[in-house]
Amino acid sequence: MNSEEPLARSAKPERCIPPQTYAKHISGVIERATKNVGAMMRYYSGNTRGLKEAVKRAALLHDLGKLDKANQAVLKKRGKKHLPLNHVDAGTTYLSRGKEYEAAFFVYGHHIGLCSVPKEAGRGTLFLRDERIYNEVDQKIENYIADHEVWYGKLDKQFNEAVKSEWTGLTRRLAFSCLVDGDYGDSAVHSGGETEKQAVRHRWKERLEKLNKYVQDLQKKPDVSETRKAQRQKTFKTCRDADTQPALYACDSPVGTGKTTAVMAHLLRTAIDKKLRHIFVVLPYTNIIKQSVDVYRKALILPGENPEEVVAEHHHQADFSSYDLRQHASLWTAPIIVTTAVQFFETLGANHPAQLRKLHELPGSAIFLDEAHAAIPTWLWPQAWRWLKNLSDSWRCYFVLASGSLPQFWQNEKITSPTEDVPNLLGIKQRTQVNKQEKERVTYSSKEEEFDINGLLEFIESKNGPRLVVLNTVQSAAVLAWKMRKTGKQVMHLSTALTPNDRDALVEDIKLRLQKKDDTDWTLVATSCVEAGMDFSFATAFRESCGAASLIQIGGRVNRHGNSAQTEVFDFRVNDPLMKNNPQLRTSRNVLKILFEEKYFETKDPTEIVTEAMRRELMSDFGDFEQMSLEIIKHERTNDYPEVAKLCKVIDANTRLVVISPEIAEALRCYEKVDPVQLIRNSVQIRFFKINTNQFSSFCIPVNDHQEMYTWLGKYDGRFLGYMEAIIPLLEMEADGFAMV
């Protein structure tokens, strides 16, 4: 390398990373970004030229400001100093002069994220931070261009943006994703944190044949009633053979009727017919991802394939902005991606490059929103529905919204206006039949009195086991499980206080224990992480009052295979100083109470119950709901991307990844490469405000001073309470009048 050749990246000798030249980086980013946009545009129904050119021009000039002599001096000294002149402003200035505003917008945001257009317009100097930068860049811009042409090549003439593309908020995010993946990806490959990934063949027809065989074999299982087998077989065939033309389907098949495989069969047929490139399975809870992934890998992996490359599991978000942490990002590149609703919907509304990096993979995909009733808060659906419609109308995406308790929110004018008709994968006759069988399988009742922890224990123990108890918070579940074990009861515990690896091991233990017909006097205490998707079948279930959809979902964890007489699910309330309430559930709890009083659970089917519950919840919270929904829609329409990202948090909690595994924590401290899946599977998510409390602060230490990732130093019991093993003694002390100092 010529010593005078300009750099894009400094060397990092302590990590054996060589410098990267400006020309090599620009070439790599252009290659990757144009490949991304080309693959995405095959599915676009609008004008493709404007989008392609905007991405290409942004990739070409995104690092133009690094050619500044002061910036080069810092880059060549291999130090850790910040560049003296913000390097995004040169490319932004050049493109803005040529009225290439979309490309300028992407260059301006490729580190800080998509900006607020209203705020930028109000400052007078669009895309530039202050007068000093404006004047300095203005004076030097021709020098930067001359150096660029010397070291990289002559600039093509500016693109005429008079050829307009249909720039919606979602379209900008998709195009921006192509650029930032090019930038992040090229940097990560250069530093050795990523390798160039080879595309895995879709082989949709072969996977559908394998799935058909897998489902046939399931019919031979002896522990499922013949009625249930017939019901599941009919559901599978109906879904598989349904018309693939509609871009949106509903599927309100009750829990336990095999929709996991039935909907997948339909989406495989859709992928074959429409030549799609990905199938997404979007789930509400991290803990059910592994179970679904296991099913899909058994049912869809072909001989000689690497299961992890075909069916990718993405737990909670791992979208790191720090350069050192980018190698740990999870990308949507596999044929089949199983991810969380948090990751999916927050990515649609994101503005930050780290989150948006993977979004360009979404066009041309079939998306299964499983347990859609629990995917996002109701007030997010008006804007989310607009995004789904945009994806289906313009980007050839296909959706199935499924749940055993699916509210028909598209029929509610507070959410979609005008209301819409969404066809159902199942026929009316079949849905009527399965709902009748549901009433014969399980019954729901509500306890009016509030329990303290001792009263709750007594009530639970009075019912047949094995028993399932679901609480509304991690703290409440851990405290109840701890109290039960302390009083000599047989108890297991499952919550997000445990890492995905430990939860998966416990799930397998629970399944094995449920198979032992003579082992009945025990209880599983859990959070809502067991509410959906878990293949559990308990004798009795208890659900801390939450909402109608949650209660019905718990009904799917009792008498699941229809082998017993009608079983019971109890709605209850608890009031105890050691057990934490969730105030956000006040409205849904009150609506559920009224539905019990009006005999809805005795006279209506699950779809009718949850649709009515949603309607009443919206009416109760209409003022707040309408205001929040309208705010999101307004900011999306005016291109205020940071505000949309802030308002579109699926979980209103600022969480951090906390690494439990000492080995992985040590590897991270030494800047060693860690597999992203293993990182996630050996970590937990803890709210940031908790990390700074007296209870947690001494146990959570930042990794290499990064405020995005922490290591856990407290006690941790992977077989029972997880990180709550360290916290419960502190809760006891506080309840007894002591405090940590």
**Does CATH number 3.40.50.300 belong to domain 440-620?**
yes
Query: What is the crossing angle of helices 22-41 and 48-61, to 10°?
Result: 160
Give the DSSP H or E segment for 470. strand 467-470
Average pLDDT over residues 449-463: 94
For domain 204-426, give the CATH superfamily.
P-loop containing nucleotide triphosphate hydrolases (3.40.50.300)
- Contact at 8 Å (CB) between 412 and 419? yes
66 φ/ψ angles, rounded to the nearest 5 degrees: -70, -15
CA 708, CA 320: separation in Å to the nearest integer?
Answer: 7
CA 108, CA 58: separation in Å to the nearest integer?
Answer: 9
Rounded to the nearest angstrom, the gap between the alpha carbon of residue 419 and the centroid of all alpha carbons in its chain is 27
Beta carbons within 8 Å of 599's beta carbon, 6+ residues apart: none
pLDDT at 318 over 80: no
E strand segments, 489-534: 491-494, 523-526
DSSP three-state, residue 279 = strand
Name the most confidently modeled range: 249-258, 285-294, 351-360, 584-593. Answer: 351-360
More confident position, 366 or 627:
366
Give the DSSP H or E segment for 468. strand 467-470
Copy the structure tokens of residue 328: 């740990």
DSSP state of 418: S
Average pLDDT over residues 377-387: 90
pLDDT at 141 over 70: yes
pLDDT of residue 689: 82
- Which of 480, 474, 440 lies closest to 459 in space, CA to CA? 480
High-pLDDT (> 90) share of the chain, %: 53
Q: What is the pTM of this model?
A: 0.80
Average pLDDT over residues 161-175: 81
More confident position, 736 or 291:
291
pLDDT in tens, 43-72: 999 888 889 999 999 999 999 999 999 999
Copy the structure tokens of residue 213: 């065989």
pLDDT at 612 over 80: yes
Rounded to the nearest angstrom, the gap between the alpha carbon of residue 52 and the centroid of all alpha carbons in its chain is 28
High-pLDDT (> 70) share of the chain, %: 89
